[in-house]
Amino acid sequence: MVMPDLKPMPYKEAVDFFKKRIVMSPSAFEKMAEGANNAAKARAFTVAGVARMDVLSDIHGAMEKAIADGETFGDFRNRIDEIMENRGWKGLAPHRLENIFRTNIQTSYMAGRHAQMKQVAKRRLYWQYNAVNDGRTRPTHAAMNGKVYPHDHPFWNTWYPPNGYRCRCSVTSISKAELEEEGLTVEKEIPKDPVTGEAYRPDKGWNFNPAEDVWKGMAEQVAKDIPKAATPLIPFSGERLKKYGLQSIKEMDASRFPKAKELPGYEDLLRQKIDPIPFYKKELKKSLGMEGESAVLPAADGSYSVFNGLLFGHLDWKNRGRYVPMIRETYETPDEIWLNVMKVEGKSNLRKNHIKFYRSDENPFGMVVILDFEKGIWRTLTVIPRERIKRIDSIRAGECIYSKNK
């Protein structure tokens, strides 16, 4: 009798989630994009005390293999010990290593379950919280055991597992027929602590759903202010340029600017019977390495920022779509980065501009590509011919926090 080969099947959704986690150093993690919340940081992968990116990348790779191959903690630990030895490190304490393993396995597994349950949510409308309910179950987690909520209830924005380090809670999807057959009650409110009278909360720092597109809400907030007029609180001044050792735009030698990299223009694409906007969006996603709706990329000043597809709708594709190839280059290797406070309808927002100078056949005397960021989210693309000196100067205002020539 031929015995079946019972190798574990890769959990695709869990692997896909983990692959999208961005490797960054602990210091970069702490300085992550202004306004980033716990959910945003959940999309980063870092290990406290490990500053070397090569070691972090190795640990991330080992973790990805463990998730894909269904490995045990022992398998993972042996590989990490080998990596550390090859890198000349003493290694990580066993309890820390196990914490890394358990947390990433459970987070990826539950993110994978979330993706699966969302796919069948029309047929299985309800989700039930399951705590293990043994001697290690935390009281707050035990209080959620058996609770049933609609799959789109706000409860899951806060209480979708894991809800703490080494949390073993899970979620099961339920159909309406199963709900009625088992006599389950659909909850409306989050249970309250009988002592304090306040709603139960997950462990500190875990009050989010890591499976959701964490950048979407941030991008929506930023998008609201795009049409509104903004006034810089720190205006441009020639003295400020001198302070940073920078030339005015009219003093620069355009022959030293790199040649602009452009795609076919809007009208050219129409003549080729190509729909321009989907074409430009596809090229932009490819350039940014976007697998889903968001990409998180490192910048020249050591920060990280988010490029979210929600903001694509605010781009002037007809006039600026051809400049897509210069977006990532302007972000990662700008000539200057300026930070300023912008006043928008009485509110003050910190805004950052990445600037890069180019020349093109259409603009032989130079042009400026500007990327505008707010709360670490990319907002807009602006391209200005060099002749519009005052407009360019208005962008080079505030504090210059990075200059290529420094």
The C-alpha angle 279, 282, 285, rounded to 5 degrees, equals 150
194-241 pLDDT per residue, tens? 888 899 999 987 888 877 755 555 555 555 655 555 566 667 778 888
Pair (347, 262) in one structural domain: yes
Interacting residues of 196 by C-beta distance below 8 A, sequence separation 6+: none
- What is the Cα 280 distance to its own chain's centre? 21
Q: Pick from 113, 135, 163: which residue ends a domain?
A: 113
Band (pLDDT 50/70/90 cuts) for residue 184 is very high
Q: Take residue 309 and report the two structure tokens written for it.
A: 């597809």
- Structural domain tally of the chain? 3
The yes-or-no verdict on residue 4 having pLDDT over 50 is no
Q: What is the pLDDT of residues 311-356, one digit of tens each?
A: 777 777 888 889 999 999 999 999 999 888 777 666 667 788 899 9
Let me know whether 351 and 220 are in one domain: yes
Pairing assessment for the beta strands 377-385 and 367-374 based on DSSP bridges: antiparallel
Average pLDDT over residues 254-263: 90
User: How many other CB atoms are there within 10 angstroms of residue 379's CB atom?
Assistant: 22
What percentage of the chain exceeds 70 in pLDDT? Answer: 85
Whether residue 243 is found in the same domain as residue 357: yes
pLDDT, residue 37, reads 53
CA dihedral for 301, 303, 304, 310, sign (positive or negative): negative
Q: What single letter denotes the amino acid at residue 333? A: T
pLDDT band per the 50, 70, 90 thresholds, residue 45:
confident
Cβ atoms of residues 217 and 179 within 8 Å: no
**Can you tell me the mean pLDDT for 376-392?**
83
Residue 251: per-residue pLDDT: 86
Output the pLDDT for position 6.
42
Tell me what pLDDT residue 351 has: 80
Can you tell me the mean pLDDT for 286-304?
80
384 - beta bridge partners? 368
Q: 276 preceded by cis ω (within 30°)?
A: no
Token representation of residue 50? 């490990």
Least confident of 29-43, 49-63, 149-163, 299-313: 29-43
Res. 111 pLDDT band, cuts 50 70 90: confident
One domain for residues 3 and 86:
yes
| CA proximity to 146, closest of 170, 163, 162, 121 | 170
d(CA 63, CA 215): 24
Q: Are 163 and 110 in contact (CB under 8 A)?
A: no
Q: Is 159 in the same domain as 63?
A: no
Residue 275: what pLDDT?
93
Most confident of 28-37, 82-91, 178-187: 178-187
CB atoms within 10 A of CB 123: 10
109 and 142, same domain (yes or no)? no
Q: What is the pLDDT of residues 122-173, one digit of tens each?
A: 999 999 999 998 989 999 999 999 999 999 999 998 999 999 988 999 999 9
Q: Where is 374: in which H helix or E strand?
A: strand 367-374
16-20, 319-323, 393-397 — most confident range: 319-323
pLDDT, the chain, mean: 82
Instruction: Identify the pLDDT of residue 187.
Output: 94
Task: State the residue range of the domain holding 245.
Answer: 215-403
Answer yes or no: do 101 and 141 share one domain: no
Reply yes or no on whether the pLDDT at 35 is more than 80: no
d(CA 278, CA 251): 39
Give kind and range of the element (H or E) at residue 304.
strand 304-308
For residue 133, which amino acid is it?
A: N
CA distance 209 to 202: 11
Residues 238 and 327 both lie in one domain: yes
Query: At which of 184, 211, 238 does a domain end?
Result: 211
Same domain? 286 vs 395:
yes
User: Which residues, including other chains, have CB under 8 Å from residue 144's CB and lie 6 or more apart?
Assistant: 129, 131, 159, 169, 191, 200
What confidence score (pLDDT) does residue 335 get? 93
Most confident of the following: 184-198, 308-322, 359-373: 184-198
**269 & 230 share domain:** yes
